[in-house]
Chains A and B, each alone.
Chain A
Amino acid sequence: MRTGNGGRVDRSRRINFSFDGRAYQGCAGDTLASALLANGVHLVGRSFKYHRPRGFVAAGSEEPNALVDIDRGNGRSAPNLRATQVELYEGLVAKSQNRWPSLAFDLQALNDLAPAGLFGAGFYYKTFMSPRGAWHRLYEPFIRRVAGLGHAPKLPDPDHYSQRYAHCDVLVVGAGATGLAAALAAGETGAAVILADEQAEMGGGLLDERTASIDGLSAANWVGATLARLAAMPNVTLLPRTQAFGYYAQNFLGLAEKLTEHLAAPDKSQPRERLWKVRARQVLLATGAIERPLVFPDNDRPGVMLASAARTFANRYGVRPGERAVVFVADDTGYGAALDLHAAGTEIAVIADLRTAPSGPGFEAASGTGLRIMPATVVTGVSGNLRVSGVTLGSLAADGTVRGGEKIVCDLVLMAGGWTPAVHLFSQSRGKLAYDSERQIYLPGTYAQAAQSAGACNGTFELAQAIAEGHAAGAVAVGTPGTRSFAVTGAIAPAGGFHGAVPHDRNPEQVKAFVDFQNDVTAKDIKLAVREGMHSIEHIKRYTTTGMATDQGKTSNMNGLAIASAALDKPIPDIGLTTFRPPFTPVTFGTLAGHSRGALLDPVRQTPMHGWAAANGAKFEDVGQWKRAWYFPKPGEDMHAAVNRECRAARSAAGLFDATTLGKIEIVGPDAAEFMERLYTNPWHKLGIGRCRYGLMLNEAGFVMDDGVIGRLAADSFHVTTTTGGATRVLAHMEDYLQTEFPELKVWLTSTTEQWAVIAIQGPKAREIIAPLVEGIDLAAETMPHMSVREGSICGVPTRLFRVSFTGELGFEINVPADHGRAVWEAVHEAGVPHGLTPYGTETMHVLRAEKGYIIVGQETDGTVTPSDLGLDWAIGKAKKDFVGKRSLKRPDLVKTDRKHLVGLLTADPKVVLEEGAQITVEASPATGTPALGHVTSSYWSETLGRSIAMALVAGGKGRMGATLHVPMPDGGIAVTVTEPVFFDKEGGRINA
């Protein structure tokens, strides 16, 4: 219920929201958790395995139970959000999870009554073992139904997410008292400081203080004043709502900032979340501590919560989480919570202290206020199913036995089990934790990186000391050590604490005392795991699932260790500590993906002529990152018809093709020819200036890695082309050899792929069409034969004009500076239309080249194919002493005669087009398990030949010319005849026209 005044909410601004379909009102400044509690709602979830009713345990990111699904509609939804971190906004729609059919009446709660052991430790391993076939049929669907927490959104996420790299001198994680002081000390020196905090409002635990003052200001006012000073420093970046979730090598941290989650109507142009990738010279961890629950029977009833959480709800949000409370303490801060609740109007029925002789300022103050205190008293049971209705107390004897005692009516039970330093990020940084056996806590020990911890996460619990430590650490981080003291009054520091299972007098087989609320692990489960032979905490964790998943053991870790320690009769440090994994709290996939989704998943590269192709109806295909025109259908044409028409045009008149995406490398320097000699199989020294040659590139193992036409522009200059997909790889391969194997060569390599737009014109009329546009180049066949290159101009634009062909036709490739590509393309097109010039795409290009038996690296090759396998022995410079891959060509495996060879395949039925990738066998219907002789690498309908053609890699193929083989398919084997892989114009007359 809402208190009359106080707290940081604005009672005058009412906020409407709904939970499980019911309408409620909260206040501006509420979280979903505080707003629900203000409406008296405690029941917010069902537990993971047993479907037990659950309420709020905590008030922050350590909340294990209150996971909700927030849905804004249209795909804007998120599951598994902690209600304690969800800021309330007008119209918020929240749903509970893991219940069916409803939260108050959950049929699966019968799991809770299941025979002991069914859902106990190791239940995954024991229950779902046999019969084998039952897994898919029964067990998996069952587990998915009952064990799921939230549901992943089904619609695409319409929001966008941003990322930013940031560098700073000091990254301070946590903006509580310690972090604020640290940021102040570092910021005052002018250093670049980033201060990140997971909460909406900075200040941490100080925002929960009712009585504390710092340097004469109330805690809240000190926070306000300090934040104002930090905000005024241009060198300080404040990041609220920002979770430092991962700490990686060399002080690299991941921070997830929520930008619009708290807004009722987010501006859709704004990113929803931002991933900060921070590199910090120094990291300052001020991550505080997490209060431990006490492990007693039925400690999971809605209305049982951490004392610190109740305090937060009361002091910060102005909400009384109950009207009559039993406070179960093992630590002095529990008394502070009791006093704060008392001040907020909650009746404190009793403070049960597990310790025999409580002491401390909290205890003194509570005594002085007249609150009823019972030392050496434990809670042995909680009544009430959907909400606490009372507790049973027991008195704890010196020998550890418990004798039944008083029943007390209450609607709220607070647990104050002591505090566990939040060392998660320190542990992620590969720092070594040290065990403080006196206080039974793990603390930062040996640092692996340039980092410091300060305040409660460092075991410094007392407020004045923590602030001073934070300030000193901030000063050290920027290299100006110094100390300052802070005058603090009215704060109650942790003192005391308890680990493990609280003794009780009930039948241990019949009670559930929870250690890990999120994973539904009880004290009994851990003891059982130990009995069943799990002696390392790593095994216990996996067997019981304690400390796993999104919770990462925030509230359960130390209690779990202590119970295992007692069961094993070994000290806590001897049973080990599981590794804390990132993320500290869940991070959405959207945040991690950042810009890399939808249209920005990967760069989409377009050629200068792309716009023309798009305007002329081209269909595009993806080739690596490039969009390439695939075919240009006319109205009513399908792909087949369009490709046939394009092929006919190229063979009978001329075709126009965008070849810009081919990789291009300019190789310049006095040793250019020698370099070419070493990197390609062919000879280059004697290639004339202005002439071209087909170049074949091998890797060192002797396998074909790329090919392309290479023109010699000058004695010391070559224009190399590569495959589209190989451009980057080939240049890297060349640089590797040049820099590391042949550094003595005076030659330099420059990618010119994007310098040139390349317009290929192929067909008998190609020369006729471009002749009127070209200046300074004699195109006549005798002066510019096939495989030559000239420099001149076209339409006034400088060009490198290649006479080359990948179609078997007379052809040119017009290279012009890329800005001019579109205009020149249009001019050539316009000049060619009267001659029948037809634009064609990559599909027609593939057909035309296959008719000529020209290979495509990556289609006819797969990284295990040699030049000889492809029938390209002619491209090997036999007289060359060395080239990359040459030695390997003589390796025994590479000279075997039964290697797979490239052959042509003609189907017996000319209308049948084989499937690429289909296997090839001798028999039409081979027995199952018969090894294939090879596979079809390329297969097309050849309009020119009026039949299908195919290329294939076939074992011993060169010796099988004329043989009949088969391509087995589901509806029967297809008979094929093995041929040479050249189907059209074998004499090559057309290309030299």
Chain B
Amino acid sequence: MPDLTRSRLTPLSSLPPAVPGVSYSAAPAIARLLYRGSDGAVAAGAAFGVALPTQPCSSAIAGDRATLWLGPDEWLLLAPEYETLAVQQAIAAALPGIAHAVVDISHRQVGLRLDGPRAAAVLNAGVPLDLSLKAFPVGMVTRTIFEKAEIILWRTGPVAFRVEVWRSFAPYVMAIMAVA
């Protein structure tokens, strides 16, 4: 029987070409867990090692883990790939009897990173939000749209963004970025 645990295929195999002012890279495979529920958010954050931010559209990072606010009872938890199960177990253990949900969506979406002074302009080819640093500061994260695809947009630096997009929409998003 073949062991296919290392045979993976992501839709980020061909990235948009770098142009002056912006370059693209594929975020490595990662554990993505969607945490839902309000009551246990503090305890879940403690178990995860990064607090679940309560301010809308904000994020928190500690070490190789991050928490992203997506809705009033919804956070995306990012951790190294091999920790998926451990995180699920730690949160379950920390929340006995407290209603919540943790769903593994590691493969549902892919992460695309944009770097460079033109990154915001390229994103604004499809994102209708104000991406100035004042309106969309470093650390801000939100679901939004890129033309006809839904994305999660996370500003990781003054000229650095991470786009999380459902895998089948990734080629569409990248194709528009390539001609923006």
What is A's interface to B at a CB cutoff of 8 Å? 160, 162-167, 192, 269, 271, 277, 279, 595-596, 599-600, 602-608, 611, 625-626, 666, 668-671, 746-748, 750-756, 772-773, 795-797, 817-824, 827
Contact A164 B121 (CB under 8 A): yes
Name 11 interchain pairs, CB-CB below 8 A, sorted by A.
Answer: A162-B125, A167-B131, A605-B169, A668-B102, A750-B36, A753-B108, A756-B107, A796-B3, A796-B5, A817-B106, A820-B5
B171 interface hit (Cβ, 8 Å): yes
Contact B107 A755 (CB under 8 A): yes
Contact B103 A820 (CB under 8 A): no
Q: Which residues of B contact A604 (CB under 8 A)?
A: 171-172
Cross-chain contact of A755 among B3, B102, B108 (Cβ < 8 A) = B108
Contact B99 A746 (CB under 8 A): yes
Contact B171 A823 (CB under 8 A): no
In the bound assembly, the distance between CA atoms of A753 and B167 in angstroms comes to: 10
Contact B9 A819 (CB under 8 A): yes
Number of A-B contacts (CB under 8 A): 141
Q: Which residues of B contact A277 (CB under 8 A)?
A: 128
Cross-chain contact of B166 among A746, A754, A824 (Cβ < 8 A) = A754
- Cβ of A675 to closest chain B Cβ, rounded Å: 12
Contact A818 B172 (CB under 8 A): no
Contact A751 B4 (CB under 8 A): no
Interface SS of chain B: loop
- Cβ of B171 to closest chain A Cβ, rounded Å: 7
B93 interface hit (Cβ, 8 Å): no
Cross-chain contact of B103 among A596, A750, A795 (Cβ < 8 A) = A750
Contact B99 A603 (CB under 8 A): no
In the bound assembly, the distance between CA atoms of A279 and B124 in angstroms comes to: 12
Q: Which residues of B contact A750 (CB under 8 A)?
A: 34, 36, 101, 103, 105
**Given A752-B103, A755-B108, A823-B7, 13 other A-B residues pairs in contact with their CB atoms under 8 A:** A164-B121, A167-B135, A277-B128, A600-B172, A606-B168, A668-B36, A748-B103, A751-B108, A753-B108, A818-B108, A819-B8, A820-B5, A822-B9
B129 interface hit (Cβ, 8 Å): yes
Cross-chain contact of A754 among B100, B167, B171 (Cβ < 8 A) = B167
In the bound assembly, the distance between CA atoms of A138 and B104 in angstroms comes to: 68
Contact A823 B9 (CB under 8 A): yes
Q: Contacts A167-B135, A796-B5 given: A755-B105 contact, CB under 8 Å? A: yes
Nearest-neighbor residue (CB-CB) of B105 within chain A? A755
- Cβ of A579 to closest chain B Cβ, rounded Å: 27
Q: Which residues of A contact B103 (CB under 8 A)?
A: 666, 668, 748, 750, 752
In the bound assembly, the distance between CA atoms of A167 and B123 in angstroms comes to: 13
In the bound assembly, the distance between CA atoms of A163 and B121 in angstroms comes to: 10
B142 interface hit (Cβ, 8 Å): no
Q: Which residues of B contact A666 (CB under 8 A)?
A: 101, 103
Q: Contacts A596-B147, A603-B169, A827-B4 given: A819-B175 contact, CB under 8 Å? A: no
B89 interface hit (Cβ, 8 Å): no
B14 interface hit (Cβ, 8 Å): no
Contact B10 A772 (CB under 8 A): no
Contact A819 B168 (CB under 8 A): no
Q: Which residues of A contact B5 (CB under 8 A)?
A: 796-797, 820
Cross-chain contact of B176 among A600, A747, A751 (Cβ < 8 A) = A600
Nearest-neighbor residue (CB-CB) of B173 within chain A? A603
In the bound assembly, the distance between CA atoms of A269 and B16 in angstroms comes to: 14
Pick the 7 closest A-B CB pairs, nearest first.
A823-B7, A748-B36, A668-B101, A605-B168, A167-B130, A746-B99, A603-B172
Q: Which residues of A contact B104 (CB under 8 A)?
A: 755
Q: Which residues of A contact B101 (CB under 8 A)?
A: 666, 668-669, 747-748, 750
Nearest-neighbor residue (CB-CB) of B8 within chain A? A819
Q: Which residues of A contact B107 (CB under 8 A)?
A: 754-756, 817-819
Cross-chain contact of B175 among A600, A608, A626 (Cβ < 8 A) = A600
B20 interface hit (Cβ, 8 Å): no
Contact B3 A167 (CB under 8 A): no
Cross-chain contact of A795 among B4, B102, B132, B172 (Cβ < 8 A) = B4
In the bound assembly, the distance between CA atoms of A632 and B88 in angstroms comes to: 41
B29 interface hit (Cβ, 8 Å): yes
